[in-house]
Amino acid sequence: MDLPESSVPRRVGPVDREELVRVIEQSLYSLGYRRAAAALEAESGVPLYPPEHDRLLLDVMAGQWDACVETVRSVAGVGDADRAVAEFLLWRGHYLELLGAGGDAGLRRAREVLRRRISPLGVDRRCVHWLACAMVSCKGAVAPETVVEWRISVFLDLVEVLPPWFHVPTGRLEHLVESAVTKQVASCIYHNLPDEITLFEDHKCHEQHIPSECAQILCGHNNEVWFVRFSNNGDYLASSSSDCTAIIWKGHHKPISFVAWSPNDRMLLTCGTGESLKLWNVDTGECNLKFQGSADYIISSCAWFPNSEKIVCASSEPGSSPNRIFTCDLEGQELEVWAGDRIPKVSELAVTPDGRHLIFVSCNDIWIRELPKGREWRFREKQAISSLSLSGDGQSLIVNLSSQEIHLWKINESSTVPEKFKGHKQEKFVIRSCFGGSNSLFIASGSEDSEVYIWKRHLETPIKVLHGHTMIVNCVSWNPARAHMLASASDDRTVRIWLARKTGSICS
């Protein structure tokens, strides 16, 4: 049977019952379920809006300004400052309508409103001055044919000043639910699959949601595998090795330490110590271009611009020749060159996905330059930097340090202190890490102890360590299109593919 009104608790836990009912009613109305919302109002006895709300709305629309002021003064919980602002909004609305009406009578009445109603409120004098000037310029005057729209806007401005209980904000229930879900997801250290979120239960992922099982071992190299990188669409994987090959593309005569996919995944760049930079056609496996310099010419790193039509390289030559950073087209023609004594010897560089920033590292410094010729700033580390990796959105970067730490920096100028990640081993060799997972929420890295380490962003210690390689893991790459897939390259001559497990089966 129905409970009498007095027996219904005012609060359900920490939640006020009437507030909850009003928020639900507002959501039903906004979703188009008007009959359901009206039925809830009738059954609960809790109207969506308090009597003062409807009275104020009717008075504003009727232009009953004195009655509006009386209603505002009767609303509980309004401070003196907010009450003055609310009254100012009302009298400003009346004032500008009078100016728009024209004629001597309208102008005389507007002057009286300004002198007797607005000036005594003590609001910002610049606002009063602007209204006084409007009497001459008619700027802001409300034409008679737009009065209805104007009064609606006056009411909406009033709502922003009055207490939250007076008018339930649009989308309030949806915002509360979204905030709760977002908080649960943020606290879930294994969250990696966006489609797993549901409102029917509290959100919790298990460690099987991140790559943790070796699904395949690639044994095509005959020596140490130094670098591995998924294509941008996630369909292909390129690896390079000291055996002078880049699987599947061949043709180098010296060890290959670096590969870079073009953003459209049609081309691949490869380079290595003492080796020329080569551009490969992914479909045919043919070398389209060889960027050849002098015998001692060293290209240490390269990166693509987002249009796949231009690359940037860092190079140096032994002796007195200066270090250089240069851009060139796909025919090898240099477009821009930065050279001179102030250009450091660059070990690695990258271009943000929007093409707006060039990032490069040298010794202990991370340099960020706005393109084409904008500002430049840098972050200084206390230890030598061995590698650089960008997040998928280009807003963050990570660097591996000789201190056996990985540091995460925001690329904006205001960034001062990096986030730190520890646990892996790196003392002598270049170890490459990467962002990965849903929304780049994870960081993965190789290690000199033959393991692969995975961290959740904002957590300093690893949440997962992957065992399987038998020698140093030099590089890892998280599939940008498949959040459950990770690749690792090792001195044991293999590339391992790691997949997430879910409910006992390997994700595909």
DSSP secondary structure of 302-362:
EEE-TTSSEEEEEEE-STTPPPEEEEEETTS-EEEEEESTTS---SEEEE-TTS-EEEEEE
- pLDDT value for 507: 33
For residue 291, is pLDDT > 80?
Answer: no
- pLDDT value for 18: 92
Query: How far is the C-alpha of 263 from the C-alpha of 285, rounded, in Å?
Result: 17
Which tens digit of pLDDT belongs to each residue from 164-200? 889 998 899 999 999 999 898 888 889 887 666 888 8
- pLDDT value for 505: 34
DSSP run (H or E) holding 66: helix 65-74
CA distance between the termini of the chain: 53
Query: How far is the C-alpha of 244 from the C-alpha of 275, rounded, in Å?
Result: 10
Q: What is the mean pLDDT of residues 311-315?
A: 89
For residue 239, is pLDDT > 60?
Answer: yes
Which tens digit of pLDDT belongs to each residue from 492-504? 999 999 999 863 3
Residue 318: which pLDDT band, with cuts at 50, 70 and 90?
low
For residue 506, is pLDDT > 60?
Answer: no
Tell me what the pLDDT averaged over the chain comes to.
88
CA distances from 55 to 37, 50, 88, 384 (A): 21, 9, 19, 69
User: Computed from CA positions of residues 176, 178, 179, 183, in that sequence, does the dihedral angle turn out positive or negative?
Assistant: positive
Which tens digit of pLDDT belongs to each residue from 356-379? 999 999 989 999 999 988 899 999
Where is mean pLDDT largest: 252-261, 284-293, 437-446? 437-446
Determine contact, residues 203/181, Cβ cutoff 8 Å: yes
Which tens digit of pLDDT belongs to each residue from 378-434? 999 999 999 999 999 999 999 999 999 999 999 987 888 899 999 999 988 999 999
Percent of the chain with pLDDT over 90: 61
DSSP run (H or E) holding 301: strand 298-304
Helix, coil or strand: residue 105:
helix
Chain position carrying tokens 């006895």 = 45
Query: How far is the C-alpha of 470 from the C-alpha of 452, rounded, in Å?
Result: 11
The amino acid occupying position 118 is I
DSSP run (H or E) holding 40: helix 34-44
The amino acid occupying position 230 is F
- pLDDT value for 274: 62
Query: How far is the C-alpha of 446 from the C-alpha of 452, rounded, in Å?
Result: 5
For residue 2, is pLDDT > 60?
Answer: no
- Which DSSP string corresponds to 259-287? EEE-TTSSEEEEEETTEEEEEEETTT--E
With left for phi above 0 and alpha for psi between -120 and 50, is residue 50 left, alpha or beta?
Answer: beta
- pTM, full prediction: 0.75
Determine contact, residues 99/106, Cβ cutoff 8 Å: yes
Order of all β-strands in the sheet with 485-490: 213-218, 495-499, 485-490, 473-478
Query: How far is the C-alpha of 443 from the C-alpha of 352, rounded, in Å?
Result: 18
- pLDDT value for 338: 87
Which tens digit of pLDDT belongs to each residue from 326-351? 999 998 888 998 887 778 888 899 99
Query: How far is the C-alpha of 473 from the C-alpha of 214, rounded, in Å?
Result: 14
Determine contact, residues 322/341, Cβ cutoff 8 Å: yes
Length of the chain equals 508
Where is mean pLDDT largest: 77-86, 253-262, 447-456? 447-456
- pLDDT value for 324: 86
Residue 11: which pLDDT band, with cuts at 50, 70 and 90?
low
Q: Which DSSP letter does residue 371 get?
A: T
Distance of CA 93 to the CA centre of its chain: 40
Which tens digit of pLDDT belongs to each residue from 206-229? 888 899 999 999 998 999 999 999
Query: How far is the C-alpha of 293 from the C-alpha of 317, rounded, in Å?
Result: 10
